[in-house]
């Protein structure tokens, strides 16, 4: 079908990759602990939306162009790194309203819409994610298949679908486990700062990527 082969192996590999802890999982857990299940769900859906960009890019050949063009790779790399570091610094600047109270002034970036777009842009502007899909998806599509683009999209949607379900499950578990954290303004401040540090670290990693 569409030149796709070893579909069961693709699904199994995709699930194992999805459940492997990484920055995406940390972001979902952090937002779930900070805002609740809706925050974690927004993070998971945003991450999936960012991955969807790379799936379509791989299908129409943009990811191949990114891999082949040093200029394009470098441009996306620095844009992504700048965004991640800027977002991380903003989150690090979160402060409690008063040193004598647990009241917290959380930046507007913690609205559900901003949580979604942070997750989406974190993935969409990361050339490493683009190269991952470019390397992973073709392994399960026949080289002579007439509809390789459609096959890429189908496989990508399967991968994103399983990843989204896993992310929503992680969000529900983390939100329930962190109920007490959300009752403490100070804890929310430090959680936001921890997420900010993670964004900065990820931005530095993206900036250090080499196009091989």
Structural domain containing residue 170: 24-207
pTM: 0.79
pLDDT > 50? residue 107: no
**Residue 58 token pair:** 């791989």
Cα torsion 29, 32, 37, 38: sign: negative
Domain-located, residue 37: yes
pLDDT > 60? residue 18: yes
**Mean pLDDT score, 62-86:** 80
4 SS3 class: strand
Contacts of 41 (CB under 8 A, 6+ apart): 167, 168, 171
C-alpha–C-alpha distance, residues 188 and 203, integer Å: 22
Domain-located, residue 12: no
Q: Which of 182, 43, 24, 202 is nearest to 106 (CA)?
A: 182
pLDDT > 60? residue 188: yes
Q: Which residues in 58-91 are b (16+ Cβ under 10 Å) and which e?
A: bbeebbeebbeeeeebeebbeebbebbbebbeeb
Domain-located, residue 2: no
Domain-located, residue 14: no
**Residue 49 token pair:** 């939306």
Q: Which of 148, 147, 130, 150 is nearest to 139 (CA)?
A: 148
77 or 98, greater pLDDT:
77
pLDDT > 70? residue 109: no
Domain-located, residue 18: no
- Least confident segment among 24-38, 102-116, 156-170: 102-116
pLDDT > 90? residue 182: no
**Cβ distance 54 to 129 under 8 Å?**
yes
- Total domains in the chain come to 1
C-alpha–C-alpha distance, residues 175 and 164, integer Å: 16
**Mean pLDDT score, 49-76:** 82
Average pLDDT of the chain is: 82
Domain-located, residue 161: yes
Domain-located, residue 5: no
Domain-located, residue 150: yes
pLDDT cut 70: percent of the chain above it: 86
């Amino acid at each position: 079908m569409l030149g796709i082969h070893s579909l069961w192996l693709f699904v199994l590999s995709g699930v194992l990759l999805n459940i492997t802890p990484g920055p995406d999982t940390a972001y979902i857990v952090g937002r779930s602990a900070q805002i609740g299940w809706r925050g974690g769900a927004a993070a998971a859906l945003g991450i999936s939306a960012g991955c969807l960009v790379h799936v379509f890019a791989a299908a129409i050949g943009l990811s191949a162009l990114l891999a082949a063009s040093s200029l394009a790779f470098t441009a996306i790399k620095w844009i992504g790194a700048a965004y991640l570091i800027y977002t991380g610094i903003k989150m690090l600047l979160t402060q409690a309203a008063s040193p004598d109270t647990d009241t917290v002034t959380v930046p507007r970036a913690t609205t559900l819409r901003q949580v979604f777009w942070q997750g989406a842009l974190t993935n969409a502007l990361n050339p490493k994610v683009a190269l991952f899909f470019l390397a992973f998806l073709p392994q399960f599509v026949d080289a002579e298949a007439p509809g390789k683009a459609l096959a890429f999209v189908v496989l990508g949607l399967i991968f994103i679908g399983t990843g989204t379900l896993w992310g929503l499950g992680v969000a529900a578990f983390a939100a329930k486990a962190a109920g007490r954290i959300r009752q403490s303004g100070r804890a929310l401040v430090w959680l936001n700062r921890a997420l900010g540090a993670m964004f900065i670290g990820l931005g530095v990693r993206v900036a250090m990527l080499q196009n091989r």
